[in-house]
Amino acid sequence: MITGKNIDLRPIEISDAEFILSLRLDPALNQYLSSVENNIEKQREWLQFCQQDPTQHYFIIQNKQQQPLGTIRIYDIKNNSFCWGSWIVIPEARSYASFESIILLYHYAFFELGFDHTNFDVRKENTKALNFYLRFGAVITHENDQDFFLTYTKEDFLDKYKSLL
């Protein structure tokens, strides 16, 4: 469990499959995510795979009353870097859960897991997320027809958010 001020990140459980699938199938939340099949058994199998894969860290974002608010995941670990995604937050919680979940994830990845930087991508049409990442301090390194590719370092995180730690 990763504990924050208003939210916690807890490792996913197989019993989270229904909640996660409902997020992934919600048209208001999934337009920039890879599509999934409406199949609870496949979702359970995927979660079981994630639990057993040491190169993934998949979390439920939850409030202090343990109500699930969303998901966030570390994956594609290479050397001193990681990718993160599967970041979905229910609309009612976005004002605080989005910001705090990324702070908690970066703190965990940089200080608990020891990574130096993260590389991730965002769809070009997803301007809201792109602007969030850029305000947070991420830098666009390159692009293709569909995506922007960004990087963010442990030093960037420390420089900007040291007071929150």
- Find the CATH number of the domain harbouring 24: 3.40.630.30
The pLDDT of residue 41 is 96
Number of compact structural domains in the chain: 1
Return d(Cα 106, Cα 36) in angstroms, integer.
Answer: 26
Tally Cβ neighbours within 10 Å of residue 55: 11
How many Å is the Cα radius of gyration of the chain?
A: 15
Helix (H, G, I), strand (E, B) or coil at 120: strand
Question: What residue numbers bound the domain in which 135 lies?
Answer: 2-164
pLDDT in tens, 33-83: 778 899 999 999 999 999 999 999 999 999 999 999 999 999 999 989 999
Residue 164 has pLDDT above 70, yes or no: no
Residue with the two structure tokens 């594609």: 76
φ/ψ of residue 2, rounded to 5: -110, 120
The pLDDT of residue 29 is 83
Q: What pTM, to 2 d.p., does this model score? A: 0.91
Contacts of 160 (CB under 8 A, 6+ apart): 136, 137
Contacts of 84 (CB under 8 A, 6+ apart): 72, 73, 74, 75, 105, 109, 118, 120
CA angle 2–42–67, rounded 5-degree value: 35
pLDDT in tens, 97-156: 988 999 999 999 999 999 999 999 999 999 988 998 998 899 999 999 999 999 999 999
Residue 161 has pLDDT above 80, yes or no: no
Tally Cβ neighbours within 10 Å of residue 36: 15
The pLDDT of residue 82 is 96
Residue 165 has pLDDT above 60, yes or no: no
